[in-house]
Amino acid sequence: MKGMKGKETILLVAAGLLGLTGSMWAEPMWAGEIAEPGGYRMDDYRAPVPQTLQGAKVVTTAEAEALWRENKAVFFDVMPNTLKPTNLPAGTIWRDTIRKDIPGSTWLANVGYGALSEETANYFRQGLAAAAGPDKSRAILFYCMTNCWMSWNAAKRAIEWGYSSVIWYPPGADGWEGANLPLEERKPYVISN
């Protein structure tokens, strides 16, 4: 800027700021520079997530709300649930986790880990079928919390199992709550005999 007159300097700075401002609004607020892994995320599940999930539609809070209000997708919460340890000393007080999620959701607890036991995979498959029915083209939406790989893993697994209308909602229940949308208490889905 050396040798420039005051007016030219102001115009150059203003043009630079306009360019910067325009690029700031081009990406969603939760977007990061995280690359999609080739497989499942296997650890550090509460960390920044990618903007994409190959084979899935990624939605914002406003888009998720529209799907919810119009009943155009089956919602699945995949937040993990801590079960009461079997080896607690007698007399220990245990309080189950209280989960608040998007009304009407099915909470499929613990299905978002990178590696699933056969029992957990069966629970996941049965929960999907019970809530979404046999039509694998029906729209299904997965969420957890903001910066939670559990929903990314669960959505990826559903795609691999042949579901063709998978939706991923990265902001999760806390993004929903931050938009002043309703939440309700939920217990994990239980397979009935």
**Average confidence (pLDDT) over 50-59:** 97
State the DSSP string of 77-119: E----PPPPTTPPTT----PPPEEESTT-EE-TT--SSS--HH
Query: What's the confidence (pLDDT) of residue 95?
Result: 83
pLDDT digits (tens, 9 = 90+) for 93-136: 878 888 999 999 999 999 999 999 999 999 999 999 999 999 99
pLDDT digits (tens, 9 = 90+) for 63-72: 999 999 999 9
Residue 132 φ then ψ, to 5°: -100, -15
Say if pTM beats, i.e. exceeds, 0.95.
no
**Domain 34-186, CATH class in plain words:** alpha beta
Q: Which residue has the tokens 């099915």?
A: 106
45-83: string of b/e by CB count within 10 Å (b at 16+)? beeebbeebeebbbbbbeebbebbeeeebbbbbbbbeee
- As beta bridge partners, residue 143 has 77
- 113: tokens are 């880990």
Range name among 17-26, 62-71, 116-125, 173-182 with the lowest pLDDT average: 17-26
Q: Is the pLDDT of residue 168 over 90?
A: yes
151/165 Cα distance (integer angstroms): 15
CB 167 within 8 A of CB 151: no
Q: Is the pLDDT of residue 18 over 60?
A: no
193/189 Cα distance (integer angstroms): 13
Q: Which among 132, 182, 149 is positioned nearest to 141, based on CA atoms? A: 132
Higher-confidence residue of 167 and 191: namely 167
pLDDT digits (tens, 9 = 90+) for 1-14: 444 454 443 333 33
Q: Percent of the chain, pLDDT > 90?
A: 73
- The chain-wide mean pLDDT, for the chain, equals 86
Side by side, which strands form the sheet with 140-143? 57-58, 166-168, 140-143, 74-77, 106-107
63/184 Cα distance (integer angstroms): 20
Q: Residue 80's pLDDT band (boundaries 50, 70, 90)? A: very high
**Average confidence (pLDDT) over 20-47:** 68
